[in-house]
Structure 1
Amino acid sequence: MAAGSFFSGLGYLGEGFRLIREPGLRLFVIIPLVLNVLLFGLFFFFLAELFSAMIASAMGWLPDWAWLQSLEWLFWIFYGLVILLMLAYGFVIVANLIGSPFYGYLSELTEKHLTGQVVDTEGGWGQIARDIPRALWREIQKILYYLPRALGLLVLGLIPVVNLVAGLLWFLFNTWMMALQYVDYPADNHRVSFPDLKRRLGRHRLSALGFGLPVALAAMVPVLNLVVVPAAVCGATAYWVREGSQTPTS
């Protein structure tokens, strides 16, 4: 069974960045983008306050030696990396949960644009409102799929020797999750169930991982992660139109 081309999958995020500049799509990019900026600011403020308190607590446990107290900057470097990782994946999960009704409609408009249909946004707000319950349930399904597997990988990371490959497995899983996360929007618009979507992407696993890899990397870059979400939605829709929509599930 064809697994798709990894290198063809790499190009879809770049296409997504081109698509979000299209006049008919911009409005439904700007609104979730504003929400993402506000969300990112709250995330950063909350985590900075949390880790500032953790550093103060950690320093309080150290002996009152001048050279140890001078190592506070090392704690900040370490916690800065932790903040970056938590922002990357925590931000994506929460941003998708909040913006899912917008992203579903953005995916629909992108598909119309790609297939040569008229992109008409009249009545879009009513459709977005009607789709909120279904979109939220779909996001919850993805979170329920993600959490037990992420926990399993976390446990593997605590086992000596096995933890040497746990980091690679973690990154591959997050790459797969990024593909699953964003291709789900056009799939849901076509009423493809979440289990069926997993089977479809499994049949094109290399191109799916090729698409998910740059998305996972971009999600870890501050500021870029604000715009990568709508670009990934548009890129995933292009992926769906060309590779996913005709894939049989049996």
Structure 2
Amino acid sequence: MRDLGAGFGYLLKGQRWVVRHGRRFGFGLLPGLITLVLYAAALVALAVWGEDAVTWATPFADGWASPWQGLFRGFLTAVLFALGLLLAVLTFTAVTLLLGQPFYENLSERVDADVSPDGAAARSDLPLWRELWVSARDSLRVLVRAGVWGVLLFALGFLPFVGQTVVPVIGFLVTGFFLTEELAAVAMQRRGVDLRARLTLLRSRKTLVWGFGTPLGLAFLVPFVAVFLMPGAVAGATLLARDLLGEESAAGGATAPGAPGGRPGTEDVTR
């Protein structure tokens, strides 16, 4: 429970940070707005033509008597839209981060410098095109993992009672985990922490990750909210990444054993 509260606290701290730095908040809205328009169009198309797609995919139900045919296909249509919505939430962050890579990278650096005792921030030695490639490659790998979870949860959704109660809860926890990974990657990639190491760190503090990512995933379901929360989410994920890596904070954060300066702490998880 303590880690859940700490994770949510980082989300709030990130939002407060961007509010205090209004200019950076304003620039950070544009990538989210572009992504929102694209995703809204895709979801509208799924809502309009989803029933036709389900009908085409279930020819075996053509001869079923009423009301079973309508109930069966209506249920599949609702599940298909829910799956599309879940994938939209999972991929929204990755696409927005790619579109706004230079801004969010700079924002994360400024947060690091703001909270570091010496006012310094880790910087990547990679050129921009290489950073974009690494980010896109890692995002694709994460989306494959998230897609596997999505298919599994889709199948479990057919189970009576469990599919309507337990499965949605698991879905939001999975969404929160992968959302946090995508957001924390901005800060961790600058420190040379690769995808496997990031996942290891996140799994070691699941309740912290869920406390940060699950409320954010729920908020992202509300139209336009994701756009306004995105800059603060990057800022909060940078603070959370510092916690996971055991880096000291100007406000008096703890340092993990064997990681006196923060970056050496990444050695254990990147081997």
TM-score (norm 1): 0.73
RMSD of the alignment, in Å? 3.9
Q: Deviations over 1:206-233 (max 9, x none)?
A: 2122111222112111111102221111
Equivalent residue for 1:10? 8
Equivalent residue for 2:195? 194
Give the partner amino acid of 2:104. Answer: Y
CA–CA separation in structure 1 for the residues paired with 2:210 and 2:54: 39
Equivalent residue for 1:71? none
Q: Is the 8 A contact 2:93 2:182 kept in 1?
A: no
1:80 to 1:8, Cα distance in 2 relative to 1, 3 A: same
Give the partner amino acid of 1:7. Answer: G
Equivalent residues in 2 for 1:1-250 (5 A)? Answer: 5-23=3-21, 26-54=22-50, 84-85=85-86, 87-115=88-116, 130-155=127-152, 157-158=154-155, 161=159, 164=163, 165-246=166-247, 247=256, 248=265, 249=268
Q: Deviations over 1:63-107 (max 9, x none)?
A: xxxxxxxxxxx99x9588677545433432321222233212211
1:219 to 1:193, Cα distance in 2 relative to 1, 3 A: same
CA–CA separation in structure 2 for the residues paired with 1:95 and 1:180: 14
Which sections of structure 2, spanning at least 5 residues, go unmatched? 63-73, 248-255, 257-264
Structure number with the bigger relative contact order (C-alpha 8 A, sep ≥ 6) is: 1
1:157 to 1:47, Cα distance in 2 relative to 1, 3 A: closer
1:231 to 1:128, Cα distance in 2 relative to 1, 3 A: farther
Q: Is the 8 A contact 1:183 1:239 kept in 2?
A: yes
* Greater displacement, 223-232 / 28-37: 28-37
Aligned length: 231
CA–CA separation in structure 2 for the residues paired with 1:117 and 1:8: 24
1:128 to 1:192, Cα distance in 2 relative to 1, 3 A: closer
Give the partner amino acid of 2:141. Answer: L
Q: Is the 8 A contact 2:32 2:230 kept in 1?
A: no
Give the partner amino acid of 1:17. Answer: Q
Which sections of structure 1, spanning at least 5 residues, go unmatched? 63-73, 121-126
List 4+ stretches of structure 1 deviating above 4 A. 53-59, 77-87, 116-120, 159-163
CA–CA separation in structure 2 for the residues paired with 1:129 and 1:37: 28
CA–CA separation in structure 1 for the residues paired with 2:108 and 2:203: 21
CA–CA separation in structure 2 for the residues paired with 1:200 and 1:4: 18
Percentage identity across paired residues of the two chains: 19
1:151 to 1:82, Cα distance in 2 relative to 1, 3 A: closer
1:22 to 1:195, Cα distance in 2 relative to 1, 3 A: same
CA–CA separation in structure 2 for the residues paired with 1:58 and 1:197: 38
1:129 to 1:241, Cα distance in 2 relative to 1, 3 A: closer
Q: Deviations over 1:23-79 (max 9, x none)?
A: 3xx4443334112213312332343245334467889x99xxxxxxxxxxx99x958
Q: Is the 8 A contact 2:9 2:212 kept in 1?
A: yes
CA–CA separation in structure 1 for the residues paired with 2:246 and 2:196: 15
